Structure 1
Amino acid sequence: MSVDTRAQETRAQETRDRLRIGVMGCADIAWRRTLPAMAGNPAVEIAAIASRSKSSAVEFTDRFGGVPLEGYESLLDQDGLDALYIPLPGLLHAEWVERALRAGKHVLVEKPMTGSHAETVRLVELARASGLVLLENYMFLHHSQHEAVRRTLADGAIGELRGFSSTFTIPPKPAGDIRYQSEVGGGPFLDFGGYPVRAAQYFLGSELRVVGAVFRHHEEHRVAMSGSVLLCTPDGIPAQLTFGMEHSYGNSYSLSASTGRLTLDRAFTPPPTYQPVLRIERQDHSEERTLPADDQFANIVDTFVQAVLGERCVREHQEGTLRQAALIQQIQRVAYHTAI
C-alpha cells in the first residue's frame, strides 16, 4: 500500500458520517448546479459558505444551509470542515487550492484547476503527498451519454474514425461580466473553451498535438472572445474545435468515420432531466437514439465524496487534468502568435 493510499484511508476514517463541505465563492455555477447537487447528496452537509460580501453568503446559506462567512480566509479557519468546493474565477484557483490543501482540506475546484500546467502539476503533487483528494470539476465527463457514444463507435456503427469536431459558443454577456476581466482569467477559452478540447482527448486519446489555433480579440476587451483550434493524433485524425462568446448558443460534437457520422447536441450542459439524442447518419441510413437522462453534477459530487471516503480513486481524473492543462497551454502559445 502506498503512502498516499494509507494517508487517504486514515483521513477517510476520521471523516464524519456526512462530509462537511465549505464553499469558497458564490458563483453562478454553484447556485444553479453544483450546490443543488451537493444538497441532494445524503452524504454531504454544506457547512459554510464564504463570499467577499456577507450578503451574498447569506443569500446562498438561506437556500443551501451552512454558516455565512465574509472573506475567503475565514473559511480556512473554520473547525470541522472536511473539504472545500472552490468556484472562484480561474486565475484565483491556484492560490486558494494550495491554501486549502495546506489547511488539510480535500478540494473540488471548478475548471480550469489553474492557469498553467506547472501550477497544476504542483498542486496535484501536493494533494497526493498530503493524502488529500483534489478533483477538477469537468462535470460533463461524468454523464453517461459520452460512454454510450464511445460504445456505439466501438461497435462499428459508422466504421473507422476519421475525424472529430466540437463547438461551444454562447451569446455576448452584459458589460461587466467576469468573462471580460483579463486580470482574473477572463475570456471564453479558459472558462468553457476547454470543453471541446477535453472531449477531443476523450475520444482521440492523450497524444494530440496542436496543428493550429487562432484567437480573435475584441477591441473593447483584453481577452480573446472566440477562436478555432486544430488538433491531430499521431496517425493523422484531426479534431476541429470552435469556441466563443459572440455567437448563438450551442454545444455539440460530431465524430465522422469511414461509413457515417455520430452527432450529439447539448453535449456539455444537459439538464438532469434531459434525454440526450444521439444521431447516426450513413449514406443509406439515418437513426436517432434517445439516451437515458443523467445528472452529471450529482455524479461528480458523488465521485468526490466516494474518493474522500476512500471508496474511489481519482488518479485517472487527475492525469486527465494534467494532460488538459498541458494541451491548453500549447494551444495558447500557438494562438498568441496568430491572434487577430
Structure 2
Amino acid sequence: MGVIGTANIAIRRIMPVLAAHDQVDLVAVASRDEARAAEVGAAFGCEGIGGAGGYEALLEREDLDAVYIPLPPGMHHEWAMRALRSGKHVLVEKPMSDAYGKTLELLTLASRLGLVVAENFMFLHHSQHAAVRAMLDASVGGLRQFSGTFAVPPLAPDSFRYRPELGGGALLDVGVYPLRAAQLHLTGELEVLGAFLRVDEATGVDVAGSVLLCDERGVTAQLDFGFEHAYRSMYALWGDRGRVSVRRAFTPPEQLRPVVRIEQQDMVTERALPQDDQVFNAMDAFVRASLGEARPAGERTATLRQALLVDRVREVARTVGVPSSASRLLVGGPGAR
C-alpha cells in the first residue's frame, strides 16, 4: 500500500495500523512537502516521496496494489480517479467526494476495472452499532425518531476545513457522520424536510448546521453538527417503548467500553459494551476486500445514498452568514500537504 498525503488522521490513526497489519506492506507515502514526506516515511519505515510531483510519482509505482487517500474532500475525486486508472484499489477518507455525480463516477469506474474503492467511515466498523440494533425491539419498540450530533471545538485557522476550494465546511467534515448514522436505522432513501447552514462570512464555509429528515415510514431524524461547539459525538433512538442513546458514537478509542443508556418508563439502565478497534476493523475490511473477499451487501447503494443526501441538504438548506470570530480572521496557510 501507498499513502497519498500526510494528514493528521493518516499519521495518528491509519498508518500505524497499516504498518502493523500482517497482510500489508506499507511501501511509500507522498507529500507535496519534501521534508514532510521524508519525516513521515522514516517514522513508518517506508519511502517518502516529496515535491510537486509526489502524488503522481507514487501512483506510477508498480509495486503498489492499493492506496489510501487522506486528502481534503475537494481533492478526493481527482486522486481517487487517478489511482483507479493506474490499476490500484482505493481507500479514500470520508466523504468519498464532494458531490453525488463524482461519487457515482468513482464507483462506476472501480466496478468496470474490477477494483475496490471504499469510503473510510470507520465508525461503521465498531461493534457497538450492531449491538444497539439487536436491542431495539425490546428497548425501543416501534422507532419514532432518530437524533444525532457530531460537533467539535473550533479548529486551527489554517485548516483546510475553512477553505471552500478544498471542500471545507462542517457538513462535509462532521455533518456526514450523523447523516450516515441515520441510514443505519431509517429505511430507504431519506427525504430532506429542512436544513440550516451557518456560514462563516470571512471564509465562506459552513461552520455549523442542522438537518431534518424523514423516511418512508414517517420516522424523522434530527441532526446537528459543527466545529464551533463543545465536543459531542452521539445518537439516540426513540420509540414507543423507550429510548436508547449511544454516547460515543463516532470516534470511540479502542480501549473504551462504550456505554449505552436505555430509558424506559420508570427505569434507566446503562450497559457497557465490549471495547472494539474500529480503525483496525476498517483497515482490515478494506484489505480483505482488496484481496478478493466479498464486500458487505448494500455497501455501494449506501455510499450513493449518502452522497445524494449531502447534495440534497445543500440544495434545500437555508444559509445564514455570521461574522468570524477573531481567531479565524486570518485564515490561510499551506493547505493540503
| TM-score with structure 2 setting the length | 0.92
Which residue pairs with 1:172 in the alignment? 154
Counterpart in the other structure of 2:104: 121
- CA drift of 1:338 comes to 4.4
Pair 1:87 & 2:70 matched: yes
Is 1:243 matched with 2:214?
no
* Aligned-residue CA RMSD (Å): 1.2
CA distance in 2, matches of 1:267, 1:198: 12
Alignment coverage as a number of residue pairs:
318
Distance in 1 between residues matched to 2:201 and 2:39, nearest whole Å = 36
3-state SS of 2:243 partner? strand
Q: Percent identity?
A: 50
Contact preservation (8 Å) 1:166, 1:196? yes
Question: Does the Cα contact within 8 Å between 1:168 and 1:242 map onto a contact in 2?
Answer: yes
2:166 maps to 1:147: no
- Report whether the alignment pairs 1:138 with 2:129: no
Write the deviation string for residues 21-55 of structure 1: whole angstroms up to 9, x where unpaired: 00000011111111122122110111000001111
CA-CA distance at 1:80 after TM superposition: 1.0
Aligned pair partner of 1:56 in 15, 30, 36: 36
**Letter in structure 1 aligned against 2:172:** L
CA contact under 8 A between 2:188 and 2:216: conserved in structure 1? Answer: no
Write the distance in 2 (CA, Å) between the matches of 1:179 and 1:153. Answer: 36
In structure 2, what is the equivalent of residue 105 of structure 1?
88
Q: Distance in 1 between matches of 2:163 and 2:103?
A: 22
Letter in 2 for 1:30: A
**Unaligned stretches of 5+ in structure 2?**
322-337
Q: SS in structure 2 opposite 1:50?
A: strand
Which residue is equivalent to 2:22? 42
**Kept after mapping to 2: 8 A contact 1:188/1:225:** yes
1:187 lines up with 2:169 in the alignment: yes
- TM-superposed CA distance for 1:66, in Å, is 1.2
State the SS of the aligned residue for 2:27.
Answer: strand
Paired letter, 1:167: T
Contact map agreement 1:307 1:314 (CA 8 A) in 2? no
Matching residue of 1:18: none
CA distance in 2, matches of 1:314, 1:307: 9
* Structure-2 residue corresponding to 1:10: none
**Superposed counterparts of 1:137-286, under 5 Å:** 137-154=120-137, 156-286=138-268
CA–CA distance in structure 1, aligned partners of residues 14 and 307 of structure 2 = 22
* TM-score normalised per structure 1: 0.91
Whichever residue aligns with residue 106 of structure 1, its letter is H
Unaligned runs of 5+ in 1: 1-20
- Whether 1:305 aligns to 2:281 is no
Partner of 2:333 in structure 1? none
1:73 and 2:56 correspond? yes
d(CA) in 1 for partners of 2:157, 2:292: 45
Structure 1 position 329 matched with structure 2 position 311: yes
Q: Indicate conservation of the 8 Å contact 2:5/2:31, yes or no.
A: yes
